[in-house]
Structure 1
Amino acid sequence: MRITAAEKTDLQQILQLQYQAYESEAHIYQDDQIPPLTQTLADFIEESQSRTILKAVLEDGMIIGSARAREGNGTCYIGKVIVHPDYQNRGIGTALIRELERLFAHTARFELFTGHRSERNLYLYQKLGYHIYRTEPVHERLNLVFLEKLMYQDGRDALLAAFQDWVAFAVQLQKREELYWNQPVAPGKWTLRAVVSHIMLWDKYFYEHAIDKIYRQEPLTLRHTDYDEFNRKAQLYSEQTSITSLAEQAIFYREKIIAAIRSLTDESYNKEYIDADGHPFFVAQYLKDFIPHDQHHIAQMEEKHGEQR
C-alpha cells in the first residue's frame, strides 16, 4: 500500500468508497441522509479545488482509503478519513492522518470531527493525540464532536520534560491505597489500575519495537495493532498484576524510553524510520502524539483524586 495525492480521475472511485465507508455511520445514527452519503460527484469535484486529497492505494491500483484537508488561519482541518470496510483495523486511517500531519506540519493546530457515538473514530483520534474541545448538536440523535491537536514546536529537551510528567505522576500513585486504584476514573470508564496498565503496556510496546530498536540501530518491528484487543489485554493484565508492580513497570518503561531518546544523536533523533508495516516513524512525532494522551488520562485521574480529598 502507498499513500499519494489523489488525481481528478480518482474522485469517482473515492466517492464510491466514501458511500461504503459511511454506511456504518448511517446505521449508528439511523440516518441515511448524512452529508457524506448525499454528496454528488459534482460537489466532490468542486470541493477538490480547495482541498488536499490523499488516497491509499494497493499495488493493483485499488483505492482502499482516503482523507482530505484544507488550511485556514493556522489550522489544518481534516475531514472524511475513510477506509474500505474490508481493510479497516490495519493502520490505514492512522497512516492517512499521519501523512496529512506531515504535509501540514507548518500549521499550529489540527482539527477534525466525528459523531458522538462513533466510538472507534473517537478512540483513534484521541490515540493520535487529539482532544475534544467542543460539541455541536445536529439533531436528537447526533452531536458532532470536534477534536483538536496543538502542535509542539519545542525541541527534544522540552518534549522529554513533558513526557517525563507521567513518571512523576506514577510516583505519586504509589502512595495511594488499593481501594483508590480499583475505582473507575469516571462513571462507565476504566479503573485507575486499568489506565495505568494501558499506558504502561503502550510504553513497553513502543520501547521494545521502536525506541530500543532505534537506539540499537536495528530495524523497527513496530506494527499496527488492534486497539480493542490491545486495550482488552491491558485491562486483563491490570486485574492480574499488583498495584505495586504496575506502578514500578510504568515508571521503568517510561524512564527507559526517555533515557534511550536522550542518548540519540541529533541525526538519529530526526531521522525518518520505517516500521514493519512500511509506515514512516519519527521519534519527535511519537512524543508529540503520546504527551496529549498522557495528559488526557492524568487529568481524568487528578479529577478523581480531587473528588476524594
Structure 2
Amino acid sequence: MKIVKATESDILDLYRLQLLSFESEAEMIGSRMVPALMESEEDYNDAFNQWHTYKMVDDTGRVIGGIRYQYDDGVVEVGRLMVHPDYRQQGLARKLLAFVDEQCSQDRRVLYTCTKSWINIKLYTKMGYKAVREIQDDTGLSFVYMEKQ
C-alpha cells in the first residue's frame, strides 16, 4: 500500500470510492444526507483542483483509499477520508491521517463529521483531534468540528 498524489485521471475512481465508502456512514447515522453522498460527480470534478488530493493504492495500483486537504486562512481543512469497505480494519484510515500530519505538521488541522459517526469520532480522537464545536445544519443532522494543533 502506498499513498500518492492523485491526478485528474483519478477523479472518477475517487468519486466512485467516495460514494461506496460513505454508504456505511449513511447507514450508521440513519440518513443519506451525508455531504459526500450528496456531491455530484460534476461538483467533485469541479472542486478537485481546490484540494491537495491523495490516493492510497494497493500493490496492483487499485485505488483503495483517499484523503484531501486544503489551506484556508492558515488552517488545514482535512476532508473526504475514505477507505474501500474491503480494506477496513487494517489501520489504513490512520495511515492516511498520519500522512496529512506529516505534510502539515506545523499547521492546525480541522475536520468535521456527523455527531452520530462514533467510529469516525473515536478514530479522530485517537489521532489527537479534539472536539471544538457542534452545529446542526439544514438537513437536521448535527456535525462535530474537531481540530488538532
Q: TM-score, normalised by structure 1?
A: 0.46
Corresponding residue of 1:135? 134
Distance 1:34 1:9 in 2: 25
1:123 corresponds to which letter in structure 2? Answer: K
Q: 1:114 to 1:48 in 2, by over 3 A?
A: same
> Which structure's residues are more often strand, by fraction?
2
Max Rg structure:
1
Q: 3-state DSSP class of the match of 1:49?
A: helix
1:16 matched residue in structure 2: 16
Aligned to 1:116: 115
Aligned length: 149
Report 1:1-309 matches (<5 A).
Answer: 1-107=1-107, 109-138=108-137, 142-150=141-149
For the Cα contact (< 8 Å) 1:64–1:84, is it kept in 2? Answer: yes
Post-superposition shift, 1:2? 0.3
1:99 is displaced (CA, Å) by 1.0
- After TM superposition, give the deviation of residue 73 of structure 1 in Å: 1.9
What stretches of structure 1 of length at least 5 have no aligned partner? 151-309
User: Higher relative contact order by CA 8 Å / sep ≥ 6: 1 or 2?
Assistant: 2
Shift of 1:59: 1.2
Question: Which amino acid is the alignment partner of residue 127 of structure 2?
Answer: L
Q: In 1, are the aligned partners of 2:29 and 2:117 still within 8 Å (CA)?
A: no
RMSD value over aligned CA atoms? 1.4
- 2: CA distance, partners of 1:116 / 1:33: 13
Question: Secondary structure at the residue paired with 2:53?
Answer: strand
User: Take 1:35 and 1:127, find their aligned partners in 2: how far apart are those partners?
Assistant: 24
The percent identity for this pair of structures is: 29
Give the drift of 1:78: 0.2
Cα drift, residue 50 of structure 1: 1.1
Determine if contact 1:13/1:63 at 8 Å carries over to the other structure. Answer: yes
- AA partner of residue 52 (structure 2): T
Q: Which moved more, 1:6-15 or 1:138-147?
A: 138-147
The 1:138–1:52 alpha-carbon spacing in structure 2 relative to 1, beyond 3 Å, is same
**1:122, 1:141 → 2: CA distance?**
19
Contact 1:55 1:67 (8 Å CA) reproduced = yes
Cα distance in structure 1, aligned partners of 2:140 and 2:125: 22
TM-score w.r.t. the length of structure 2 is 0.93
Equivalent AA in structure 2 for residue 36 of structure 1 = A
